[in-house]
Amino acid sequence: MANIKSETTGQKRIDTIATDIKKLVSGISNGKPANVTEENMDKFLKNIKEAFNAWNNPVKEKDGKLRMSVLGKPPRQLWYDRFSPKKTKDYDASLNIKFLYGHILEHLLLYLAELTGHKIGDQQKKVEIDNIKGHIDATVDGEVCDVKSASSFSFKKFKTGELVNDDPLIKTLQDTLKSKTPPDRCYQLSETKGGNKSLPIGCQFCAHKWECYKDANGGKGLRVFKYSNKFVYLAEVNRQPNVEEITKNFSEELKTYGKR
């Protein structure tokens, strides 16, 4: 970068961000370093430190109250969060690590964007909509941005503008959380090559899957099969997979959520 300041005066547009970062990285690979200064590096490291501390001291939601950070979650998952909160167990550890590197990646991406001359502002600024409190990740070139690797559902609120247009999304979620019964499932089951139905990725990482699918497999609950590179959770088994079934390893969950 020749001069960050001269490039952060509004000439950059957010839609060039991916190309600009690729160019920056390719320049670095070819021996042309980015314009890292004491000041911008200190800011980046401070953001990483704050992100780590926030991850290390998570804020417990009270009474399932909506917060901005949960608006990317689908309604049924939020309903279970509200009415059937789960204790974090060992098997949540890998998920929690993913959250940590998600936070770190967020700041890395914003830093790279800044180094390419995009204007980054309002990082972690507090906001409130309809009495729901939260933070925005940042503005990039004046646009409010959510920086994450997330499901398409999480991005829907931005794509459709639901979050700003009088927010039907928030109202729907508030209604959902008043209901005594959970809303429809968040994602469709995936069809496997063998003709079985498996949990989609969004459900695999969900802490509520056992409860949510307790009626699967004729009321027996989910069945789990160990493939070479992953566990596959089946909600409907039409043809027995030719790999080891490890459902018994989840007997604790199935005692509560399934007839085993």
Supply the minimum distance, in Å, between the C-beta of residue 77 and ligand SF4. Answer: 4
Under the criterion CB under 6 A, does residue 257 sit at the interface with ligand SF4?
no
Residue from 12, 76, 107, 119 binding ligand SF4 (CB under 6 A): 76
Under rule CB under 6 A, residue 186 binds ligand SF4: yes
Binding span for ligand SF4 by CB under 6 A among 114-122, 129-137, 198-206, 252-260 = 198-206
CA distance 195 to 91: 28
Task: Find the part of the chain contacting ligand SF4 (CB under 6 A) among 1-9, 90-98, 116-124, 200-208.
Answer: 200-208
How many other C-beta atoms are found inside a 10 Å radius of the C-beta of residue 145?
20
Site for ligand SF4 contains 223 (CB under 6 A) = no
Spatial distance between the Cα atoms of 216 and 163, rounded to a whole number of angstroms: 34
Q: Are 217 and 250 in contact (CB under 8 A)?
A: no
212 interacts with ligand SF4 by CB under 6 A: yes
Q: Does 208 bind ligand SF4 (CB under 6 A)?
A: yes
Q: What is the closest distance, in whole angstroms, from the C-beta atom of residue 131 to ligand SF4 in the complex?
A: 25
Binding segment (CB under 6 A) for ligand SF4, from list 15-23, 69-77, 101-109, 234-242: 69-77
Rule CB under 6 A: choose which of 117, 202, 221, 258 binds ligand SF4: 202
177 Cβ contact partners less than 8 Å away, ≥ 6 residues apart: 64, 66, 78, 79, 82
CB of residue 209 vs ligand SF4: minimum separation in angstroms? 4
Helix (H) / strand (E) containing 154: helix 152-159
Task: For residues 77 and 73, give the distance between their C-alpha atoms in angstroms, rounded to a whole number.
Answer: 7
Distance CA 135, CA 146 (A): 10
Q: Are 116 and 17 in contact (CB under 8 A)?
A: yes
- Quickly tell me which residue has 């609120």 as its tokens: 157
Q: How many binding residues for ligand SF4 (CB under 6 A)? A: 13
